[in-house]
């Protein structure tokens, strides 16, 4: 990818993680990046194409981070807890797919597909790490709920308290 494409996707990701799918426009992204809206349309013809690309990239990055932590010896729950917690540390607030998933009924099929892929990947990782289906769903629900509440309250410590009993 080019530097411009990366910058466009970075700006879109920041805005989606803070305000969801409706929380960004090509005009705002263009202003963030310092390019014309036409440049964004050149690389991403539609808002949904941009959001799907951002979600796809996010999924790959986040799953890799958890996989790397697991490969380094961290247990699967704490690996995913660390990945979610890092979203609060970097100022981006919400999990991208959690933010998008809150309005999945309003998303185009390509964006909704990427959101589902994320949740499926997290659940599969947790199950591969030895959790039952039910426990994997519980852990993912707790992580998404904790990051939502911590973000809404502007207090990352809420995430830590809400997830302290996960493992």
CB 17 within 8 A of CB 96: yes
Encode 124-136: b = buried (16+ Cβ within 10 Å), e = exposed: ebbeebebeeeeb
Domain of 159 in residue numbering reads as: 3-163
- Among 17, 153, 8, residue whose Cα is nearest residue 97: 17
What is the CATH classification number for the domain harbouring 34? Answer: 1.10.357.10
CB 79 within 8 A of CB 69: yes
Per-residue model confidence (pLDDT) at position 83: 95
Total tally of structural domains belonging to the chain: 1
Per-residue model confidence (pLDDT) at position 88: 87
The sign of the CA dihedral 31, 32, 35, 38 is negative
Per-residue model confidence (pLDDT) at position 92: 62
Digitized pLDDT (tens) for each residue of the chain, 167 residues in all = 689 999 999 999 999 988 889 989 999 999 999 999 999 999 999 999 999 999 999 999 999 999 999 999 999 999 999 999 998 887 768 899 999 999 999 999 999 999 999 999 999 999 999 999 999 999 999 999 999 999 999 899 999 999 999 97
């Amino acid at each position: 990818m080019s530097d411009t494409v990366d910058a466009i996707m970075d700006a879109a990701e920041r805005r989606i993680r803070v305000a969801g799918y409706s929380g960004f426009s090509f005009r705002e992204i263009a202003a963030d990046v310092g390019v014309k809206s036409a440049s964004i349309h050149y690389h991403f013809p539609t808002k949904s194409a941009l959001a799907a690309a951002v979600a796809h990239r996010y999924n790959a990055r986040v799953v890799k981070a958890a996989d790397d932590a697991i490969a380094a010896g961290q247990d699967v729950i704490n690996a995913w807890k660390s990945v979610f917690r890092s979203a609060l540390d970097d100022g981006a607030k919400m999990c991208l797919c959690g933010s998008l998933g809150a309005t999945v009924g309003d998303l185009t099929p390509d964006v909704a597909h990427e959101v589902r892929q994320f949740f499926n990947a997290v659940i599969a990782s947790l199950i591969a790490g030895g959790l039952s289906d039910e426990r994997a769903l519980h852990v993912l629900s707790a992580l998404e709920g904790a990051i939502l509440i911590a973000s809404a309250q502007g207090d990352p410590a809420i995430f830590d308290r809400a997830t302290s009993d996960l493992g």
